[in-house]
Structure 1
Amino acid sequence: MNDMTPIQTTLKDWESDQEVRWCPGCGDYAILKAVQRTLPQIGADPKNTVFVSGIGCSSRFPYYMETYGFHTIHGRAPAFATGIKLANPDLDVWMVTGDGDGLSIGGNHLMHLLRRNVNLQVMLFNNEIYGLTKGQYSPTSRIGTTTPSTPMGSVDRPANPCAFALGSGARFVARGFDVSKNLPDVLIAAHRHQGAAFIEIFQNCIVYNKDVFNDFAAPKGAEDRQLWLTDGEPMLYAGGTKGIKLDLDTLSLQVVDVVDGDWQSAGVIVHNVKNRAIAHMLVELPFGPFPMALGVLYDDPRPTFESAVIEQNAKASEGREANLAKLLAKGQTWTVAPSAADPV
């Protein structure tokens, strides 16, 4: 068993000797630095940490981390990450995927990782495009997105990563974006969660889908367009002048004005990370009439997959002898004796 005692490291301890190669201005650089700043804060040990990725721009991530790493095959990172965690549950496993890798060919694998509740962190970089394949539309591309494969605009209804995660049974769902100062706090909360922690990270593709998230991520006026959620705190934004209310007649969320800071009278609800129904509503809020809900949307732990497997294996082997030769010889076995006619 590995020693999980927190150790002291710096950002430099997590930087590999590989040249970081993404397009200049790519949001992946900011996410990489956020992760490298976060790991020292949680006392992580590079020798006990594994980064697993699939295929895509985001999947170059393991090369740039001074840890163990696996750059696997398209969409199959969840299967590899699950196997790694089962083989050595003490490892701190982080999975990196993109909206294309994780929600197209990898959607099936990701669903099962989340429903099984494997104790690891999933970072899904969502830039709403296939950047590595030169700008084809992805499962999260918006209707009307013009690409080489959809020159007249995509007619696909986009997938909602956080809604997918909740629907798959994820017990931790969060959102952030590449250059946000709050992203490390979201990553710390995900690491603290015991079980599968899913984090959607909006990421700017500077070449093929530039500034697609500027409607809420641009610094100017951001407080009017971003709802950062804190457990136990009222859902306020726009400097506390607006909030989110639950309309009990329609069972839907509404934007309300808050006068003189009196959010109680306005009916603003308090965020409860264990309220799954509200989390579903938050991830489905249409941007424009509503702010973008960010931070930890849902966090309600339950026993992990690997703990159940370990317990089951212990029960199965209780009182039994570990003898492979005896096991192979059990049941219907026979011996073929050589005859004189057999060639030597």
Structure 2
Amino acid sequence: MSSENVRFTDFKSDKQPTWCPGCGDFGTMNGMMKALAETGNSPDDTFVVAGIGCSGKIGTYMRSYALHGVHGRALPVGTGAKLANPDLEVMVAGGDGDGYSIGVGHFIHAVRRNVDITYVVMDNRIYGLTKGQASPTSRPDFETSTTPEGSKQQPVNPLALAMSAGGSFIAQSFSSDAMRHTEIVKEAIEHDGFSLVNTFSPCVTFNDVDTYDYFRDSLVDLSEEDDYDRHDYDQAKDAILDADKEYMGVLYQDENSTPYHEAHGVTENMAEIPDGAPDGATDLVREFY
């Protein structure tokens, strides 16, 4: 399929999502598909990796090469795929529990290596698939069945983690703002290096605090701030550590970013064909990777 003729609907699979009606993940996924199409990618050159949780189903609902991995391990798979074939467009999807709890070690190292993949985290500030426990990004006073008096722990700041690890593209989005979400993911795809898009994706079933209305009323869109410079490290740091505001947009981007595969001379498909493979196997392996 020629990338010139690809529409975002070409990325839709024939599987119907089983997310709860109103789940923010619908908007998150639609923005990812639109961004892929608008950047000239096609399902044939796209690989989507996901972990465990509601977000883990996204590879089933998108028409592309995909892998549904184990809890917290999506980023190593995405890293391996990108280094095996740098021509692939690799997107990794996860949730706040998958990415910032069991997967946080992989997250930090993927950031510091600056692998050229796009990581979209659907942050609903709760464990939705397991019926509503506090997650790493939940508020300290957020009451759940397992934390009836709140977790009493400060939430993880994923943007600060990314910056401290040397992140070259750090962004935040909101699944309900379709146009801005697509724009932000598109910029992430076009960036040379590791791109984090922490996406507020409300859970309408188990989280009645961090709702659509809350994010609509509280998020500050950096595209409307005339004096904000995404390339200014100190300004970005202040915004990321601002305890009184939450921002949407690209908070930081390193103009001189060099992705891992270019820095280390990995420029060709590294897939090896086993001895005795039938004719045409090379093309099949290349398409798989």
Q: State the TM-score bracket (shorter-chain normalisation).
A: 0.7 to 0.9
Taking the aligned partners of 2:31 and 2:257, their CA distance within structure 1 comes to 27
Residue 235 of structure 1 pairs with residue 225 of structure 2: yes
TM-score (norm 2): 0.87
Q: Indicate if the aligned counterparts of 2:11 and 2:62 stay in contact, CA closer than 8 A.
A: yes
The partner residue of 1:275 within 217, 220, 232 is 232
Residue 208 of structure 1 pairs with residue 206 of structure 2: yes
2:78 alignment partner, SS class: helix
Q: CA deviation at 1:286?
A: 2.2
Q: Indicate if the aligned counterparts of 1:31 and 1:178 stay in contact, CA closer than 8 A.
A: yes
Q: CA deviation at 1:294?
A: 1.2
Taking the aligned partners of 1:162 and 1:23, their CA distance within structure 2 comes to 27
Aligned amino acid, residue 145 of structure 2: P
Q: CA deviation at 1:93?
A: 0.2
**Greater helix proportion:** 2
Taking the aligned partners of 2:9 and 2:193, their CA distance within structure 1 comes to 28
Aligned amino acid, residue 184 of structure 2: V
Taking the aligned partners of 1:124 and 1:214, their CA distance within structure 2 comes to 17
Q: Which residue of 2 aligns with 1:293?
A: 247
Aligned amino acid, residue 237 of structure 2: H
Q: CA deviation at 1:311?
A: 5.4
Question: CA deviation digits over 1:112-163, x for unaligned, max 9?
Answer: 1000000010001111101111111111110111111111211111101111
Change (3 A) 1:39 1:311: closer
Unaligned 5+ segments in structure 1 are 237-269, 314-344
Change (3 A) 1:206 1:171: same
Q: Indicate if the aligned counterparts of 1:56 and 1:101 stay in contact, CA closer than 8 A.
A: yes
Where do 1:52-71 residues align within 5 Å?
52-71=49-68
Unaligned 5+ segments in structure 2 are 269-289
Q: Which residue of 1 aligns with 2:281?
A: none
Q: Which residue of 2 aligns with 1:302?
A: 257
Q: Indicate if the aligned counterparts of 2:203 and 2:211 stay in contact, CA closer than 8 A.
A: no
Q: Indicate if the aligned counterparts of 1:202 and 1:213 stay in contact, CA closer than 8 A.
A: no
Question: CA deviation digits over 1:266-319, x for unaligned, max 9?
Answer: xxxx222111111111112123xx4x3210111114211112333599xxxxxx
Where do 1:58-207 residues align within 5 Å?
58-180=55-177, 181-207=179-205
Taking the aligned partners of 1:43 and 1:312, their CA distance within structure 2 comes to 20
Q: Indicate if the aligned counterparts of 2:111 and 2:165 stay in contact, CA closer than 8 A.
A: yes
Aligned amino acid, residue 222 of structure 2: L
Taking the aligned partners of 1:189 and 1:212, their CA distance within structure 2 comes to 26
Question: CA deviation digits over 1:218-264, x for unaligned, max 9?
Answer: 3xxx4xx432223xxx726xxxxxxxxxxxxxxxxxxxxxxxxxxxx
Question: CA deviation digits over 1:16-70, x for unaligned, max 9?
Answer: 0111110111111111122222222111111000000111111111111110001
Change (3 A) 1:87 1:312: closer
Q: Which residue of 1 aligns with 2:37?
A: 40
Q: Percent identity?
A: 36
Taking the aligned partners of 2:182 and 2:27, their CA distance within structure 1 comes to 11
Q: Indicate if the aligned counterparts of 1:205 and 1:211 stay in contact, CA closer than 8 A.
A: no
Residue 49 of structure 1 pairs with residue 46 of structure 2: yes
Q: Which residue of 2 aligns with 1:246?
A: none
Question: CA deviation digits over 1:190-222, x for unaligned, max 9?
Answer: 11110000000001001111351456423xxx4
Taking the aligned partners of 1:17 and 1:26, their CA distance within structure 2 comes to 19
Aligned amino acid, residue 36 of structure 2: L
Aligned amino acid, residue 80 of structure 1: V
1:112 alignment partner, SS class: helix
Change (3 A) 1:207 1:47: same
Number of residue pairs the alignment of both structures matches: 267
Q: Which has the larger radius of gyration?
A: 1
Q: CA deviation at 1:6?
A: 4.4
Taking the aligned partners of 1:193 and 1:311, their CA distance within structure 2 comes to 18
